[in-house]
Structure 1
Amino acid sequence: MLLLPTGLVAPTQRTIPAFALHRPGSLGEAVAAGAAPGAVYAQGCSDLFAQFREGLRCESLVALDRVPELGRVAMTDGGLEIGSGVAHHDGAHDDTVRGALPSFAEAWGRIANHRIRQRATIGGNLMARRTRYEMSVMLQAAGARLRFLTADGPLELDPAALWDREEPHGALLTSIVLPGVHGLWFGYERSMRPLATAAVAVRGDRVTLTVGSEYTRPHTVRLAPDDDPVKAAERLPDSVGDAAASAGYRRHLAGVLLRRLLETRAARKEGR
């Protein structure tokens, strides 16, 4: 909101102050432009205009649509690497993603709506840091690593670090790496949105549950495959609760969704 002599007024695109536009053609050029004070990165822009209406100040806009590395998807020595500029629709239908982790691709294709999926990117979904956006829940459970390029060189962070804003100003999210995908089972439950979503990743004898909601940052617990799902969900911290749902109720939902996902995994292993 803008405080004007006439009162509080909701900003629109017309109230955005003038800014310089940069259109880099490489990662190095992008980071150099993004390191300037007041610089803002732009890719799909589906969330950026909302940020402008919320009062985001931008002195220079760094458009990333001409940086080819951000749109690439590949299997690497580190795992499945997805460029931060890959749109939701493109990533969910990418042959490499579907071949490496089809359940993740299927879940990716269900988030947001059709219009948003066509424009919004996986990197924008993360960097917007909105609790109602679902990619951070999915990636946190899958053990993803976020690769940044900064003025001082490369930087790698866990998805949970985004909520604490651990990356320096001007850091450009270049890609997301999902390690060990060939030994990974992944499941995602969003039937209880907005109160709770749950992502589960199983690697060998380790199960990771990440729970998110429309209103709280994701929280993660780890358990063994034969642990009781309800008791495992009870280990979620009190901060999992909020005005929309108590911690106890959200733990209950998490236990139900965890059990459902593990039962789905067991049924598929048995060929049912």
Structure 2
Amino acid sequence: MLLLPTGMVAPTQRTIPDFVLERPVTAAEAVAAGATRGAVYAQGCSDLFAQFREGLDCRTLVSLERISELGAVEWDGSTLEIGAGVDHHAGSHDARVRAALPGLAAGWGSIATQRIRRRATLGGNLMARRTRYEMSVMLGALDAELDFLTLDGTVTVSPAALWDRAEPPGGLLRAVRITDVRQVWFGYERSMRPLMTVAAAVRTGTVTMAVGSEYTRPYTVGAPLGTDPAEIAAALPEAIGDAAGSARYRRHVAAVLLGRLLERRTTGEGTPR
């Protein structure tokens, strides 16, 4: 038994209420099954038991294991699309991801442990909405698009939308899409984690920095390329500070890490080949 800060006692697996297990084979079937009250999507399940212990209300568990389309990766030379069911190991080693955004492949392959990388998925990392999970930081810098399938059609949102509302968008996360990849250089710095991680995406004339930590939601700041990293970091909000590090200190760390990333860019590290 685990005593939570709220004073509530979290259940063990033995005390999890009964639920209905659905195993659809298409995304459309999954969306229909997930439209019921208390439905929860699951695939890698690396975070699922923690959610149960935290009081997850699951009446229907919709397994996504059999939906092959969620594991697709597509690269047409300009747009990279990664299915929500792609696990961390497969995604970071995929030849198309490496060709399109080697910096993303490197950053993606550095997160979590080997055991988790083989099970946890891109979609699970995003939809768990845990501040210590890192894919929303990387995808925020890349200005990625998240496609959700709903009963009424497809809804496309930004990674920030996962944090801008009390509840995530409805429907099933199908894929993540990054456009105009040929024009992008990307790098990721996590050497100061858990205090902070920093992602940087450089497009023609602009740089976008996204920062995250275990304590606050990801934040994204854009500026003209050539702007001093300290000036870019100065735009981060006061909300980024907490007991583990003041906003002033975190801005300083962000500036240092961003400077390292931009220096890597000048050496050609992370440039698509």
**TM superposition score normalised by structure 1:** 0.94
User: Once the 2 structures are TM-superposed, how far is the Cα of residue 267 of structure 1 from its aligned partner?
Assistant: 2.1
- Specify the SS of the correspondent of 1:143: coil
Q: What is the identity, as a one-letter code, of the residue corresponding to 1:151?
A: L
**Alignment correspondent of 1:150:** 150
**Alignment correspondent of 1:74:** 74
Indicate if the aligned counterparts of 1:81 and 1:177 stay in contact, CA closer than 8 A.
yes
Q: Which deviations, in whole Å up to 9, do the C-alpha atoms of 1:174-222 show, x marking residues without a partner?
A: 0000111111100000000010100000001010000111110011111
**Alignment correspondent of 2:121:** 121
Q: Which deviations, in whole Å up to 9, do the C-alpha atoms of 1:122-154 show, x marking residues without a partner?
A: 000000000000000000001100000011110
Q: What is the identity, as a one-letter code, of the residue corresponding to 2:140?
A: Q
Where do residues 58-69 of structure 1 align in structure 2 (5 Å cutoff)? 58-69=58-69
Structure 1 unaligned regions, length at least 5: none
Indicate if the aligned counterparts of 2:10 and 2:55 stay in contact, CA closer than 8 A.
no
User: Once the 2 structures are TM-superposed, how far is the Cα of residue 224 of structure 1 from its aligned partner?
Assistant: 1.6
Q: How many residues align?
A: 266
Q: What is the identity, as a one-letter code, of the residue corresponding to 1:10?
A: A
Cα-Cα RMSD: 1.8
> Equivalents in 2 of 1:265, 1:244: separation in Å?
30
User: Once the 2 structures are TM-superposed, how far is the Cα of residue 172 of structure 1 from its aligned partner?
Assistant: 0.3
**Alignment correspondent of 2:30:** 30
Indicate if the aligned counterparts of 2:200 and 2:208 stay in contact, CA closer than 8 A.
yes
Q: What is the identity, as a one-letter code, of the residue corresponding to 1:141?
A: A
Q: What is the identity, as a one-letter code, of the residue corresponding to 2:117?
A: R
User: Once the 2 structures are TM-superposed, how far is the Cα of residue 97 of structure 1 from its aligned partner?
Assistant: 0.7
Indicate if the aligned counterparts of 2:93 and 2:105 stay in contact, CA closer than 8 A.
yes
> Equivalents in 2 of 1:124, 1:234: separation in Å?
32
Moved more, 155-164 or 76-85: 76-85
**Alignment correspondent of 1:257:** 257
Where do residues 203-222 of structure 1 align in structure 2 (5 Å cutoff)? 203-222=203-222
Q: Which deviations, in whole Å up to 9, do the C-alpha atoms of 1:142-169 show, x marking residues without a partner?
A: 1100000011110000000001346544
Q: What is the identity, as a one-letter code, of the residue corresponding to 1:219?
A: Y
> Equivalents in 1 of 2:246, 2:98: separation in Å?
37
**Alignment correspondent of 1:172:** 172
Q: What is the identity, as a one-letter code, of the residue corresponding to 1:208?
A: T
The verdict on how the C-alpha distance between 1:139 and 1:57 changes in structure 2, with shifts beyond 3 A counting, is same
**Alignment correspondent of 1:199:** 199
Q: What is the identity, as a one-letter code, of the residue corresponding to 1:263?
A: E
Indicate if the aligned counterparts of 1:2 and 1:55 stay in contact, CA closer than 8 A.
no
> Equivalents in 2 of 1:117, 1:107: separation in Å?
12
**Alignment correspondent of 2:135:** 135
The verdict on how the C-alpha distance between 1:30 and 1:77 changes in structure 2, with shifts beyond 3 A counting, is farther
**TM superposition score normalised by structure 2:** 0.93
Check if 1:85 corresponds to 2:85. yes
Q: What is the identity, as a one-letter code, of the residue corresponding to 1:256?
A: V
> Equivalents in 2 of 1:227, 1:217: separation in Å?
24
**Alignment correspondent of 2:13:** 13
> Equivalents in 1 of 2:76, 2:152: separation in Å?
24
> Equivalents in 2 of 1:168, 1:267: separation in Å?
40
The verdict on how the C-alpha distance between 1:158 and 1:78 changes in structure 2, with shifts beyond 3 A counting, is farther
Report % sequence identity.
63
The runs of at least 4 consecutive aligned structure 1 residues that moved more than 4 Å come to none
